[in-house]
Structure 1
């Protein structure tokens, strides 16, 4: 993915590491590498558990598997450029490679947001209409939700690389992160970027803003349903998975919204703050999602214990 030479006529973009700590990049790469490996291992483990355990063959865990698959994609999209900066001091990337990385990062982020909406709908049905849960949340419904999230993200964001490719880049082309981010590249483009800026804003409104609104409405309805029930009638198992989902929503949206606000409304923000928020956005989400469900979901814990004891029995034999 990374460009190793400047022989092309196309512009070359420069990544930054952590400003002021360039001499320590090699040491900083160690925890980054470990975090990436833990994120990949945790999400792969979730996929294996959902596939192997019959008790996890339910809509909420199918959505969780989709979330894990998306997180793996996000990690693999950013890992090459981030580690190249820290390990090999490679700070350059060609235009096409940068646009490709940008497309995958934004598309997978949109897909993850759509999966979180599907998980909110799953919890809404489980709490508000438990008797109709199996009739509403079928395998076909799960496939439709997952497919719609993927198609929406790919369709809305596919024009972005073509828009940017049509513009010249005539400055230093120094990116604010260790990966390619749409808002960052728009600021570096020369010419009138009003249209592509507005289109990018519309993409945000049609994906993340709509998704956040739906999730908020879903949980307002869930809360209203819970308040109407007596203590004895409340489904505490479903509430436990609601807590997992809410933690996942916060882990995903808080860094994303914070990074978007920094790009749009602050001009003199410290580069260190940009770097910290960007890494939190695309590293912490894949890292924390498996931990949240491993610690909060009793079904996932039971599956982990079962697999752990099976391995101990086999090793003992």
Structure 2
């Protein structure tokens, strides 16, 4: 599920930096900003170059994730070249560099101010840098209300239990998809169907538990509402798109489900980190971010 937005951000990065990029993607999602991320937007059977070119063409901004890995990536170099041509068209498209390690800035973008994510594993540093990106996009960051904080204080243990089992199911589904490589078509169908059938009931139960925990009582602008909608969407996908587990064509849908679960887990984890930090009283979300 993607949220409607006047902004759409293309995330240009090296596959070696997926941990950071998934966290960044979840942060954008939590602020109603649509993104293009290869692992969720390029499906099996899609043309990779065509998907990338279309993704850049349909975006309003390109986030250039600068790292030692991306500087040497041919794909990232190509995406940056296409983005520069789009920027020259003078249609409002912009490149926003973000630096995630101590790499020297490429000569071609040294004149552009960048967001400093070098300490991105530190929640406070990540939040400051991300707020600076939102300001560049002209978007006000969503903050957590006292109502949401109160809900989390009362339900954090149950939410943590659900996350544990959803994470386990996602891991098992990923392992099953990987294990089908090299097997015959019939063996694939039997193995994947058996494995997924075992996980599905538990997965649906935990998604339903999160929906029950959240209810539908929060403002459409709250992070809990976004979490509620994404969880509901994931459950609906299972119920409507995966009715026949013994159909070989369902493999592609199971792969899409796996990606949806990964996004959901990233959103929940980011939400939990913010809640835990606020409960400790160690951060004010409304503070002005440091300059990059």
Shorter-chain TM-score: which interval? 0.3 to 0.5
Q: Name the structure with the higher helix share.
A: 1
Query: Please, what TM-score do these two structures have when normalized by structure 2?
Result: 0.33
Which structure's CA Rg is the greater one? 1
Query: Please, what TM-score do these two structures have when normalized by structure 1?
Result: 0.31
Greater RCO structure (CA 8 Å; 6+ sep): 1
